[in-house]
Each structure stands twice: as C-alpha cells, then as structure tokens.
Amino acid sequence: MSAVAPVDREHGLYLLGQMVLVRRFEEKCVELYSASKIRGFMHLSIGEEAVAVGTMQALEPDDAIVATYREHGHALVRGVSAGAIMAEMYGKVEGCSRGRGGSMHLFDAATHFYGGNAIVGGGLPLAVGLALADKLTGRERVTACFFGDGAVAEGEFHECMNLAALWNLPVLFCCENNLYAMGTAIERYESETDLALKAASYEMTAWSVDGMDVLAVEQAAHKAATEVRGGGRPCFLELRTYRFRAHSMYDPDLYRTKEEIERFKQHDPIPALIEQLRAAALLTDEDIERLERDAAERIEAAIEFAEAGTLEPVEDLERFVYYEPAHAEGPTE
C-alpha cells in the first residue's frame, strides 16, 4: 500500500477520472482497430495509466513534453483534445498532426507536446535540445521526457544523460519501466537492471517509484519537477509499471506467462486508487458511475469528431515536407 498521504476528494476524483478516461479510451482504440478504423502500429498503455496521470500533475502549462509511441494517454492527460487524437488515428485532417502521424506521432504545439517519437531513445536528444533552448533564453520551464526501459540500452540514452547533467539542463527524464523491451525481458538485455543507479552514475538525482500507484507517482514527480525547476538540473525518475496488454496490436504476447500478467493485474492502478479513496471515505459508487459516464461521453464525442473528419486531398500529398509559415501560424490572434 502506498505510504503517500491521502488526497482531498476533488483531486482524488480528478486523478481517478483521468485514469479511467485513458483506460476506456485505449479500450475503445482496440475496438476501432479491430473495426479497421485505426491502422498501422498502435501501442496501448492499459495498466500504465498512473504514469502519465501522475507525472503530468507536476507539469505547468508552459512545460514541454517529449513522449514515445505509447503516448495516447500522455496526450490526453496533457490536454490535447480527445477528438484531435482520435481523428489523428483515423488519419483525418482534423487530427492533432493533421493525420500525417497516426497513433505513434501525436504532436500539439499548443500544449507543447513535442511528439510521439517512435525510434526508441530518439526523443531524448530533442528533450535535451528543448531544455538547452530554455536555458539559453532564460525560460524557467521543465522538459519532461518519457521513454521506456528499452531505451536505456540505446547509446542515445547515455549520451543524453551525460549531456543533460554536464550542461545542467532542466530535463525531467521519466523512464517508464514496464520490464520489457518489446518482447525481451529486462534481465535478458540489461547487465544492470537498477535503472536509477545507471542515471545516478551521471551525477543526476535519480530515484525509483511504484508506477502503479498514481499518488506515489504524483508525489515523486512533484519532487523531481521542483528540483529540476529550481536547480536547473536534470532529474531521473524510474516509474516501475507494467502493461497488461501486448506490446502492440501485432504482438501475440508469447514471451511472458498469463500468471505473470495476472499477478501484475492485482496491482492495477485504477482499483488501487478506488480502494484508497474508499478507505478514506472520499469516494462513492455514484462518483465512479459519473466518472465512467463522463469518460464514455468524451470518447463517444471524440469518435463522432473523427468520423466526421475529412481526408486530406491527395493533391496535398507533398505538403509539409518543408515548413509552411503561413499554415503553422494560422489565423492571427
């Protein structure tokens, strides 16, 4: 059980509502994928909701986010509209990346959401660069960089840990350790499986947190973000989590046992928070029903938005290879 102090009712319900939204959104994505509405590679964060929901609480509206290809939840919690995310997966012009990116490449300049990067480790240098720009211009913001445990085996991880620490850059490295690099278990690809220890070797404050406990994640993220913001130094947070579903829609999930998955489902972050809130008498059955209803309504509205969206004319195929200032700036404010 979490040692974290209980939250007030309103915030507890908010966190629960966000996790329920992400869970139901992802479940709906499975249906839509099966119905061929969504295609390509799609990676779900079912089981990992506490990571995105908890960490985002520590970020300010001006902070920057670099995420991975498993980023629907991060985008939703950050405030990218569910409709724009769904339309993106439908490949529609109304999508947050104009339909050009798909599930793995959600971008949103308005919320400083710098993508959905689908090269493992490829987002880390971008985060370092965004933080460098902030440092050079005197902007006091945090760049939160999400990546999986698999990225720790990439050279880019080590290059970026070193560079961020060496240059005192305000990056919050959020390592989502779900124990598998696609289908390879961490003990089968890492000589040292204590990932925070690796980060600490770069002279960086680093610690691990139970990524299935949203309150613990939130508290750790606040602590880390405060340190990054105040000290202008990078921090590393290992979020120990687990995905309940396969790596992607293509994955037959043959590399782990059903027993192992069931064991981790006992730590499902949503029932865990419900239990905590109930124990503190902060939650009623009606609350849960309402949160479920709100999530369902938002998701239905998102699907309607995506269904009603338009496909980019083929004549526009070669647009955006180079930057179009007039398009990006949009209507003047």
Interface with another protein (CB under 8 A): 64, 66, 95-101, 105, 107-109, 114-115, 117, 119, 122, 124-134, 136-137, 155-156, 159-160, 162-163, 166-167, 319-325, 327-328
Q: Which amino acid is at 41?
A: F
Instruction: Give yes or no for a contact between 198 and 227, defined as CB atoms under 8 angstroms apart.
Output: no
Contact (Cβ atoms closer than 8 angstroms) between residue 176 and residue 51: yes
What is the distance between the alpha carbons of residues 7 and 309, in angstroms, rounded to a whole number? 40
Q: Which is nearer to another protein, 64 or 295 (CB)?
A: 64
Let me know if 9 is exposed, middle or buried by CB neighbors in 10 A (0-12, 13-18, 19+): middle
Closest approach, Cβ 225 to another protein, in A, equals 18
Name every residue whose Cβ is closer than 8 Å to that of residue 68 and which is 6 or more positions away in sequence.
116, 117, 118, 120, 123, 146, 147, 148, 176
Q: Shortest approach of another protein to residue 313 CB, angstroms?
A: 14
Cβ proximity to another protein: between 46 and 128 the closer is: 128
CA distance 176 to 247: 13
The CB-of-91 to another protein minimum distance in angstroms stands at 11
Closest Cα to residue 243, out of 2, 18, 65, 26?
Answer: 26
Complex with another protein: residue 163 or 220, whichever CB lies closer: 163
Q: How far is the CB of 202 from another protein (least distance, A)?
A: 11
Smallest gap from residue 320 Cβ to another protein (A): 4
Which C-beta is closer to another protein: that of 260 or that of 324?
324
- CB of residue 133 vs another protein: minimum separation in angstroms? 3
Contacts for 26-30: CB closer than 8 Å, 24+ residues apart: 26/72, 26/73, 28/299, 28/303, 29/72, 29/89, 29/103, 30/245, 30/249
Q: Smaller CB distance to another protein: residue 99 or 269?
A: 99
Please say which residue, 114 or 146, places its beta carbon nearer to another protein.
Answer: 114
CB of 171 to another protein, least distance (A): 10
Which CA distances in Å does 274 have to 9, 25, 44, 55, 290?
12, 19, 22, 19, 14
Q: By the 8 A CB rule, do 140 and 59 touch?
A: no
Whose tokens are 């200032």? That residue is: 325
* Cβ-based nearer residue to another protein, 59 or 220: 59
DSSP secondary structure of 204-217: -EEEEEETT-HHHH
Residue appearing with tokens 């005192």: 168
CA distance 155 to 160: 9
For another protein, the closer of residues 99 and 211 by Cβ is 99
Task: Give the shortest CB-12-to-another protein separation in angstroms.
Answer: 35
Q: Which is nearer to another protein, 107 or 264 (CB)?
A: 107
CB 300, min distance to another protein, A:
25
